[in-house]
Structure 1
């Protein structure tokens, strides 16, 4: 009598589940660190006075770091101690985060461009303001001497952005073994039907990282960069101003510490584990040695939404968008496990959800706010308000005798609801108050405006947009959340496609080549050419302390939307050509497998007896006439 072998019940705290929990934590820490970097690039761009194209190059340094070690990880990683390699990667990522934060503490006090700091007065007195006739302000054609230029550049520490580049590149080096080795470790030692569920759980925990990362980025963006070192009452800008720089370096210290903790458990896991459901003595010797990675496009630092302050934008993205992504990843993994879909089914899910997400992105093109309020506006006499894109249009009869510099960016909001580039260009004569509470009076350009106005006064900062922008922003966020959910539903099926379409013998090499191509074409160039494209939509460039063009202060929202979304639409359309080719190849593959299985399956008669022409390569038939003769069929 045969005794049926019972499968040993897996303990609730098995090593595989502990590894799963550790992977979830490191995914959280990795996403926490990466999302904070994304939320801080605007602050870094302003702090170092660099254009979007250069900040895109800095952002792409993460992918450059990946490329340095991807060949080693692809070829040797699966043969070495995978958990310890992941632990070492976490240590490198923590060091990279600390190096990224270093310039925040090395640089001197932040000096933003302004023309009014020397004209502030106490609350009970008035002060003469920049609209002067003696030409006391710096003219646009003044160029510092070589000696002054060199000393100024040194004092500004403009080259310290290289530390950010190096730290971000080290983060890329350390991140390389986490995804391919960690997920292949789970795939090797878990049941095949559980792989999709485990991957979706890891990714879901990872999605929680950006929630906290963007919240931290929003918090640090509201803290002044030199908090604790300067008197905040003397600062004339707030976090809504385009010249504001938050305390970006503090967050990198925290994210580096979390990453350091996340890597500790991996130093104590064994090189291999028994297959899930087996004991140590039943452990298979031939485990698959492979690794995998999947490029997920990074969120660009810019958004096509009706523009909110940077701190509010990243907070909205973290609280509303990312939970939808987490739910989408869980949904995709549940569908794969519930319906036991094959590779072709996973391809259908990926393509379908991508098309739906693309449809939601098409809707975003029509969500915009009025571009005529909150920008650089100069009211000409006896004419309607004009949006000023060129510097020479900022001068009119109301400010012609003020000796105004066209390079200064000190936006003020007038009582008529228009934004002027500076108090001087608005023709303001006097001011009261100090710091952010300054109020400007007797602004002659306001008086010549054809729009209704209560008085000829103005306050610091750009005017708020119209009330319908708040409604438009809420609608935009709703569409974005739906699109994020739909796109995330295809994440887990995408991983399954990668794992199931590669031969076990070639898994490591094939995935290494795949990752190399993705990092080279999809990771490094996009931030650079997207940044260069965005730079072309800038309306007002800032001015560095030493002269020359600094960071962009304000963009043409219409041109920004056309360029940014237009390029994304083109790339999306190209991806569907590739999806079509993949689906065609996989469908042919499934048909061949089905035909092969049909030929292997033995045909049975009505009594359930095999007819013999199934999985038989040859049959020996003895002829009844000559029993000694054998014929091979």
Structure 2
């Protein structure tokens, strides 16, 4: 939905620079707001109800939210992008080229009633409400799902099961990114416009893909996913426990006798549980770690496609596809391997804390290699370089030069062309081109006075490629991201087990919900907003809308972009290791509730085992005595 400048929704909510930051939080944050409304209460009260049915209802509600988010596409006009070339006009007029003492017929701000209507558009309400509803539907899934497994799984099998769940949570985004890559490669208004007449390609920053199609697919998938949950039982037998007739009858009696007590304790236990969690030092330090780490990863994941576009010159479709292929499969493998290691070696909570901490620290040190994988800024005359091809600082006064001073060119319209000298220009007019041939994306420009090459100076639509060296740097960056993703996901399951084992079993669901609440309110919502503001501060040229407002950023300062994108997450993650080391110190001196519970169960099993042995000895001795009496008689 980014940068849909021609639609009525766009000038008021998406392409305005002051609100682009909010929209970036819109995608992650507004969904979190719907989640935040209910997550703590659902996490606590949901354990008293039928958890699988609540999860199924949540999936249906998520499908409804996705459908609402796709509605603006069907209620708005077609998308129009800024261009010096008007597709609807007769191209033989050549009014978009360099014409001395001529007039430019271009896409420019106008004063008309339509501009007022665009500003007052309320299409953004559908996106807002859809995100909130989708967040509400997501609320019961993770807290109730994790507690459902923890209650009925063996302690040594629980990490493996949770690893499978986390793997499923990654396979979904993997499929979603593949779908997003496919949709981003399709023009947003495909079917209603002639794509052959377009003068932009998916690599252009003005390109908008079919974003609405992905939401419709997700709506259908969420509804279908909900069906199996309605057939799961409310409770499952504890794994590894043999149910005899006596235990079944005892369980029924206990349930009947404790039914009224549990109903009365639903509300009475909430505040004590909250107090117990807030006074748990390991739990609170773990939340602090999660907030800092989540701030870093939300920023990196949200803006990674933009980073690959601007720094390495990839299209949005290619960037999304590369993220899905290179990052998500190693994460899936890491989750499963981490769960298998926890199960096979029966790793304790203290050992899990050390594994999670040191593996994460090792991956953090590898992360700094990303600072070495550098590409230069795109060479755009008048912005990043001079018209002679020399690197320069950005100054608005340098957009015009002697070669195009008399061409009457617009200086704000972004319609880039690549000259045969390897230098890009903001438009064919600013390149000094006087003639053109061809139509659509295959249009070529000749006799360009600003392109200083021997022979015929020509240009074609689009920015110039960044070159082979930049492509190699991208490959190194992706390989490093594969290794980093695997190592970090390998440490995720041990770290998550520390969270589950540091709280009491009856507080587990509420603890998971409170953890999700804190990460969303302190990271999921604010992170994309402040990070987007910092990245927008590196913009070198803003697009222009029909009503004269600033649109989306067309080109960034690649160097400053890289420093913010890599530097800020590095600082946030580095600070998270201070509470991590404090947890390791606390675990050396204190026992966790899960360890105490396990020791008590071990003692109980030993005690019951001794009792049974004593009973067996008594029975054997009685049998021997009876046999001796019979022989004497």
Q: What is the TM-score of this pair, normalised by structure 2?
A: 0.80
For 1:306-321, what aligned pairs fall within 5 Å after superposition? 306-321=312-327
- Pick the aligned partner of 1:75 from 9, 34, 44: 44
User: Is contact 1:98-1:252 (8 Å) kept?
Assistant: yes
Q: Distance in 2 between matches of 1:559 and 1:302?
A: 15
Q: Distance in 2 between matches of 1:337 and 1:104?
A: 48
| Inter-CA distance 409–275: structure 2 relative to 1 (3 Å threshold) | same
Q: Which range moved further: 145-154 or 58-67?
A: 145-154
SS in 1 for 2:445: strand
CA drift at 1:63: 1.2
Q: What's the RMSD between the two structures over aligned residues?
A: 3.2
SS in 2 for 1:539: strand
Q: Does 1:499 align with 2:500?
A: yes
For 1:576-591, what aligned pairs fall within 5 Å after superposition? 576-590=577-591
CA drift at 1:41: 5.7
Matched with 1:137 is 104
CA drift at 1:348: 0.8
Q: Distance in 1 between matches of 2:599 and 2:205?
A: 65
Q: Distance in 1 between matches of 2:112 and 2:316?
A: 36
Matched with 2:70 is 101
Matched with 2:341 is 335
User: Is contact 1:126-1:432 (8 Å) kept?
Assistant: no
- Pick the aligned partner of 2:426 from 414, 421, 427: 421
For residues 579-602 of structure 1, the C-alpha deviation after alignment (integer angstroms, 9 at most, x for no partner) is 1121111221149989x989x99x
Q: Distance in 2 between matches of 1:467 and 1:432?
A: 29
Matched with 2:572 is 571
CA drift at 1:430: 1.4
Matched with 1:326 is 332
Count of aligned positions: 550
User: Is contact 2:96-2:104 (8 Å) kept?
Assistant: no
Q: Does 1:63 align with 2:68?
A: no
Q: Distance in 2 between matches of 1:43 and 1:316?
A: 24
Q: Does 1:412 align with 2:414?
A: no
SS in 2 for 1:103: helix
Query: Which of the pair is proportionally richer in helix?
Result: 2
For residues 229-283 of structure 1, the C-alpha deviation after alignment (integer angstroms, 9 at most, x for no partner) is 0111211111111100111101111111111111111112221121123348546
- Pick the aligned partner of 1:347 from 331, 348, 353: 353
Matched with 1:115 is 84
Q: Distance in 2 between matches of 1:70 and 1:375?
A: 52
CA drift at 1:81: 1.1
User: Is contact 1:119-1:128 (8 Å) kept?
Assistant: no
Q: Does 1:549 align with 2:518?
A: no
Q: Distance in 2 between matches of 1:115 and 1:484?
A: 43
Q: Does 1:270 align with 2:275?
A: no
User: Is contact 1:539-1:556 (8 Å) kept?
Assistant: yes
SS in 1 for 2:216: helix
For residues 5-30 of structure 1, the C-alpha deviation after alignment (integer angstroms, 9 at most, x for no partner) is xxxxxxxxxxxxxxxxxxxxxxxxxx
CA drift at 1:93: 0.7
Q: Distance in 1 between matches of 2:404 and 2:421?
A: 17
For residues 455-504 of structure 1, the C-alpha deviation after alignment (integer angstroms, 9 at most, x for no partner) is 21100000011111111111110000000001101221122111111023
User: Is contact 1:378-1:393 (8 Å) kept?
Assistant: no
CA drift at 1:516: 2.5
Q: Distance in 1 between matches of 2:168 and 2:405?
A: 60
Matched with 1:361 is 367
User: Is contact 1:233-1:435 (8 Å) kept?
Assistant: yes
Q: Distance in 2 between matches of 1:169 and 1:582?
A: 35
Q: Distance in 2 between matches of 1:84 and 1:597?
A: 34
SS in 2 for 1:542: strand
Matched with 1:178 is 141
| Inter-CA distance 375–328: structure 2 relative to 1 (3 Å threshold) | farther
Matched with 1:238 is 201
CA drift at 1:556: 1.1
Q: Does 1:560 align with 2:561?
A: yes
Q: Distance in 2 between matches of 1:389 and 1:251?
A: 38
Q: Which range moved further: 417-426 or 262-271?
A: 262-271
For residues 415-437 of structure 1, the C-alpha deviation after alignment (integer angstroms, 9 at most, x for no partner) is 10000001111111111111111
SS in 1 for 2:577: helix
Q: Which range moved further: 509-518 or 222-231?
A: 509-518
Matched with 1:518 is 519
SS in 2 for 1:202: helix
User: Is contact 2:95-2:103 (8 Å) kept?
Assistant: no
Q: What is the TM-score of this pair, normalised by structure 1?
A: 0.80
SS in 2 for 1:455: coil
SS in 2 for 1:553: strand
- Pick the aligned partner of 2:390 from 385, 397, 400: 385
Q: Distance in 2 between matches of 1:576 and 1:169?
A: 33
Matched with 2:445 is 440
User: Is contact 2:5-2:79 (8 Å) kept?
Assistant: no
